[in-house]
Homo-oligomer: A and B are copies of this chain.
Amino acid sequence: MYAFDFSAGDGTDKSLLGGKGAGLAAMTALGLPVPPGFTLTTEACRRFTVEEELPDDVWGETLMALRRLEATTGRKLGATTGTPLLLSVRSGAKFSMPGMMDTVLDLGATEAVVPALTAWSGSEHFAWDAARRFVQTFGKVVLGADEAKFQGVLSELRAARGVDDDSKLSAEDLREATVRFREIVAETGATAPDDPVEQLRLAVAAVFESWNNRRAREYRRIHDIPDDLGTACNIQMMVFGDLGDDSGTGVCFTRDPATGEARPYGDYLPNAQGEDVVAGIRNTLNLDDLAKRHPGHHAALTGVMRTLEAHYQDMCDIEFTVERDRLWILQTRVGKRTAQAAIRIAVEMVGEGVIDRNTALLRVDPITLDQLLHPRLQRPIEIEPIVKGLNASPGAAAGSAVFDADRAVARAKAGEPVILVRWETTPDDIHGMAASQGILTSHGGRTSHAAVVARGMGIPAVTGAGGIDVDEAQRRFQTGDVVVNEGDRITIDGGTGLVYLGDLPLSRPEPSPELEVLLQWADEVRTLGVRANADDANTAAEAVRWGADGIGLARTEHMFMGERLPIVQQVILGHDAAAALDALEKVQTDDFEALLGAMDGKPVIVRLLDPPLHEFLPARIDLVAERAELVIAGESTAKIDEMIEAVRRLEEDNPMMGLRGVRLGVVRPELYRAQVRAALAAVARRLDAGGDPHLEIMIPLVSTGTELERMEAMIHREMAAASTPVDVPVGTMIEIPRAALLAAGLAKHARFFSFGTNDLTQMTFGISRDDAQDAFLVRYLEEGLFPTDPFVTIDIEGVGKLVEMATRAGRAARPGIEVGICGEHGGDPRTIAFCHRIGLDYVSCSPPRVPIARLAAAQAALGSGAENASV
């Protein structure tokens, strides 16, 4: 069976009938006033695709369904007497692909039926309008004529008659348009058959063919929709909203799709067909206006809305037409909505008893919470942006442009909001980034240093704004004619990548009460812990506000930056290193104490120093330039020469795989030891103050058990030597493929595993993320070589396989070992679903992602949350 009358089923099989066909069948079953018709199934489309023509049996069933339709309606396709049947022929796939595929309307409105149509409608104007609409839609869709030419003819006619609207053209004008449209069609070399049945056959073929047009394929690629589903084709009796001012057409939602408020919302356009609404030529009326004009129709529509919302147990989007004294419902589907509306509708429907809490949790896409919680520009925005970059970290920010990290800190301390503008940022800029409201760079992608750090800190950022020319020496940037000097105010929108001159008004949304409720429900359902990545007390406090269960990753390298940098450099260069180490230990003790205080009662995983030491020294190329200036000035170069030599000694061709992480712990054991002492001292202080610290110490970049064994022994020695006895669990990051492969052995010396999926992804793919972004990653994603960005959603087949193997091996070797992930993936819903499935204990993500993770974890526990297609 390829042809299903709308009245033949209950509309549950969207795979076979498509979304539109299923909706029509469901509404018919509900007794709603749906124009009769039938659906050619997606199976018919799939056969069409394979056989490259409409199979005979499909067409045979189509003709039989057409005969039934004629019998039901009492109308006949191509009838020159009695009531002619006009048809709409519409595509409709399982997943909505709005506007991507083709539609033919008014099929059957040949010139031969114009007299009969005139007689039926009482309007020659209507009859010729239907005829020209048919030539136009059929010519364009089936025969490939140029739509612009049709519009040209209509423009000419409107100009000649001095009217601004096609509905004001005369019947004679429309007849002339019909004739001229036929000439335009003839220019294509193809001729439209006169027989309406033959027209139908061609229209069906065109609809099926449109499944594989370029833009449909592209849309499917972007939205991860399989190519082999096919579209259904809905053939339905035309009804007409353009029979005069007593007719009209509209769209309504059962609740407000923008706010979620529980009252219907809609647009209505008198004397018009659906495509006229889309064209947006005339202003639409609202539902209150409809109630005034047609109280009966409004009441009926309200009833339909109630019926459909009850049926779908969700907010519905409905297309309807008033044909004089009849209300027709043309289409329905579950309505699209904003994140805010989704949350409110879901929570309120629970209150109304329509759905249960679990259903409500599944109704909100976690990723949409991201837009919801960042500061935003107040709309509408009155001025033009000066440049566009990449939307690297969401939210908007306004402040004074500054061009180096130290000045950012200085101005911010003085109470001035600042935007740090750099060619690109380096770890040296961290303190300046932390002090800024937002970041703007001219180089680097969405995964550049600036983007990653900004997202981690929850700071808005626009990166890779190639249109600006940053002159850090002169402290200004230029784009086109606009020059922005230090201190000039700018506003960036990290959600769009746009940059504006001046201070634009911002609003920071408070989490709505409905969101709070939803997240509480999520916490009751989820079994996966959600921790935050937070390096300092402020960020930790923010994480607690967002509902984090603890800190999954506290990086300690930021404690080495900013004003501590000179001490750190002393340690590295070996100048009075012991004293410098002592000083460093002292300040770190304060840092750890504050961090543990902010997370009192919750676990805090501190990762020992990870980056290569040269990140704490200046770049050699800069030093060489500086040295040249000293030579010219005739000054001594002894000091800078020493620094240049130190930098050169530490330089690496591939620093990511060089002397960092635990390797520093082996080669420069004093550094790790000082960190451990500081952390243990902080625990002691917290305990003395009556606090409840839960410190855990994590060793990064481990590739072999011996490394971990040595660090574990060192930490145990320090614990034994500490004045206050504490038991601090020691664990390891798993971020090197070998660590994942040897997890059973590592578990002997680790009380917890934390997958550092950023580095693990880099090493497993052999891809340096920052280098790859512009060089090839964008291209790989565009061309489908990678179906998803492995740095956003975990690569289940490769990296995920390692994570799963290691988790299983670790658990076997040490039952109950605590296992989580702390890469950027920790805030990605599809990754979270994966982590839930393989039984991890928690995910850890940046604080603003915590609500997303809480909801995604709940959805995963409810068995939803799609994992990504494999690379």
A633 at the A/B interface (Cβ < 8 Å)?
no
> How far does the alpha carbon of A779 sit from the alpha carbon of B669 in the complex, in Å?
13
A808 at the A/B interface (Cβ < 8 Å)?
no
User: Do B707 and A659 touch (CB < 8 A)?
Assistant: no
Q: Which residue of B lies closest to A658 (CB)?
A: B771
Q: Which residue of B lies closest to A802 (CB)?
A: B741
> How far does the alpha carbon of A784 sit from the alpha carbon of B705 in the complex, in Å?
11
User: Do B657 and A762 touch (CB < 8 A)?
Assistant: yes
In the complex, what residues of B have CB within 8 A of residue A766's CB? 656-657, 701, 703, 735-738, 759, 763
Q: A763-B763, A768-B654 are in contact. Are A706 and B784 (CB under 8 A)?
A: yes
In the complex, what residues of B have CB within 8 A of residue A798's CB? 703, 737-738, 741-742
Q: A667-B779, A802-B741, A871-B704 are in contact. Are A659 and B621 (CB under 8 A)?
A: no
User: Do A655 and B621 touch (CB < 8 A)?
Assistant: no
Question: Which residues in window 645-666 of A have CB below 8 A to B?
Answer: 652-659, 663, 666
Among B655, B801, B871, point to the contact of A653 (Cβ < 8 A): B655
Among B658, B707, B745, B764, point to the contact of A737 (Cβ < 8 A): B764
Among B654, B703, B706, B871, point to the contact of A654 (Cβ < 8 A): B654
In the complex, what residues of B have CB within 8 A of residue A784's CB? 706
A795 at the A/B interface (Cβ < 8 Å)?
yes
In the complex, what residues of B have CB within 8 A of residue A779's CB? 666-667
What's the least CB distance linking A344 to chain B, in Å?
42
User: Do B628 and A663 touch (CB < 8 A)?
Assistant: no
Q: What mask results when residues 609 to 649 of chain A are scored 1 for a CB within 8 Å of chain B, else 0?
A: 00000000000110011001000000000000000000000
Q: Which residue of B lies closest to A651 (CB)?
A: B771
What's the least CB distance linking A531 to chain B, in Å?
24
Among B667, B775, B785, point to the contact of A652 (Cβ < 8 A): B775
> How far does the alpha carbon of A290 sit from the alpha carbon of B177 in the complex, in Å?
128
A265 at the A/B interface (Cβ < 8 Å)?
no
A710 at the A/B interface (Cβ < 8 Å)?
yes
In the complex, what residues of B have CB within 8 A of residue A657's CB? 654, 656-657, 762-763, 766-768, 771-772
In the complex, what residues of B have CB within 8 A of residue A628's CB? 628
In the complex, what residues of B have CB within 8 A of residue A620's CB? 621
> How far does the alpha carbon of A786 sit from the alpha carbon of B738 in the complex, in Å?
13
User: Do B768 and A653 touch (CB < 8 A)?
Assistant: yes
What's the least CB distance linking A139 to chain B, in Å?
38
In the complex, what residues of B have CB within 8 A of residue A741's CB? 764, 797-798, 801-802
Copies of the chain in the assembly? 2
Interface centre among A624, A766, A780, A795 (most CB of B within 10 A): A766
User: Do A737 and B763 touch (CB < 8 A)?
Assistant: yes
> How far does the alpha carbon of A738 sit from the alpha carbon of B763 in the complex, in Å?
9
A799 at the A/B interface (Cβ < 8 Å)?
yes
In the complex, what residues of B have CB within 8 A of residue A764's CB? 736-738, 741, 763
A469 at the A/B interface (Cβ < 8 Å)?
no
In the complex, what residues of B have CB within 8 A of residue A801's CB? 741
Q: Which residue of B lies closest to A703 (CB)?
A: B765
Q: Which residue of B lies closest to A738 (CB)?
A: B798
Q: What mask results when residues 136 to 179 of chain A are scored 1 for a CB within 8 Å of chain B, else 0?
A: 00000000000000000000000000000000000000000000
Q: Main SS of the interface on chain A?
A: helix
> How far does the alpha carbon of A776 sit from the alpha carbon of B703 in the complex, in Å?
13
In the complex, what residues of B have CB within 8 A of residue A735's CB? 766
Interface centre among A656, A658, A738, A783 (most CB of B within 10 A): A738
What's the least CB distance linking A292 to chain B, in Å?
59
A770 at the A/B interface (Cβ < 8 Å)?
yes
Question: Which residues in window 92-121 of A have CB below 8 A to B?
Answer: none
User: Do A765 and B738 touch (CB < 8 A)?
Assistant: yes
Question: Which residues in window 727-760 of A have CB below 8 A to B?
Answer: 735-738, 741-742, 745, 759
Q: A667-B779, A785-B704, A799-B738 are in contact. Are A652 and B771 (CB under 8 A)?
A: yes
Q: What mask results when residues 781 to 805 of chain A are scored 1 for a CB within 8 Å of chain B, else 0?
A: 0011110000000010111011000
User: Do B771 and A663 touch (CB < 8 A)?
Assistant: no
User: Do A775 and B658 touch (CB < 8 A)?
Assistant: yes
Q: Which residue of B lies closest to A786 (CB)?
A: B704
> How far does the alpha carbon of A620 sit from the alpha carbon of B620 in the complex, in Å?
12
In the complex, what residues of B have CB within 8 A of residue A783's CB? 666
Q: Which residue of B lies closest to A745 (CB)?
A: B797
> How far does the alpha carbon of A759 sit from the alpha carbon of B657 in the complex, in Å?
12
In the complex, what residues of B have CB within 8 A of residue A704's CB? 785-786, 871
In the complex, what residues of B have CB within 8 A of residue A707's CB? 785
Q: Which residue of B lies closest to A779 (CB)?
A: B667
What's the least CB distance linking A331 to chain B, in Å?
38
In the complex, what residues of B have CB within 8 A of residue A786's CB? 704, 706
Question: Which residues in window 835-871 of A have CB below 8 A to B?
Answer: 871
What's the least CB distance linking A777 to chain B, in Å?
9
Q: Which residue of B lies closest to A621 (CB)?
A: B621
Among B624, B667, B737, B771, point to the contact of A775 (Cβ < 8 A): B667
In the complex, what residues of B have CB within 8 A of residue A656's CB? 653-654, 657, 766, 768
What's the least CB distance linking A813 to chain B, in Å?
14
In the complex, what residues of B have CB within 8 A of residue A659's CB? 771-772, 775-776
In the complex, what residues of B have CB within 8 A of residue A771's CB? 652-655, 657-659
> How far does the alpha carbon of A397 sit from the alpha carbon of B621 in the complex, in Å?
37
Top 9 A-B pairs, shortest CB-CB distance? A654-B768, A657-B768, A738-B798, A736-B766, A652-B771, A658-B771, A659-B775, A737-B737, A654-B654
Spell out A's residues near B (CB within 8 Å).
Answer: 620-621, 624-625, 628, 652-659, 663, 666-667, 701, 703-704, 706-707, 710, 735-738, 741-742, 745, 759, 762-768, 770-772, 775-776, 779-780, 783-786, 795, 797-799, 801-802, 871
Q: Could you pull out 12 A-B pairs where Cβ atoms are within 8 angstroms?
A: A652-B771, A652-B775, A655-B771, A657-B766, A657-B771, A657-B772, A666-B776, A736-B766, A737-B737, A738-B795, A741-B797, A759-B766
Given contacts A624-B625, A737-B798, A763-B763, list 14 more A-B pairs with CB under 8 A: A624-B624, A652-B768, A652-B775, A653-B771, A657-B768, A657-B772, A658-B771, A666-B779, A703-B765, A704-B786, A706-B871, A737-B764, A738-B764, A738-B765
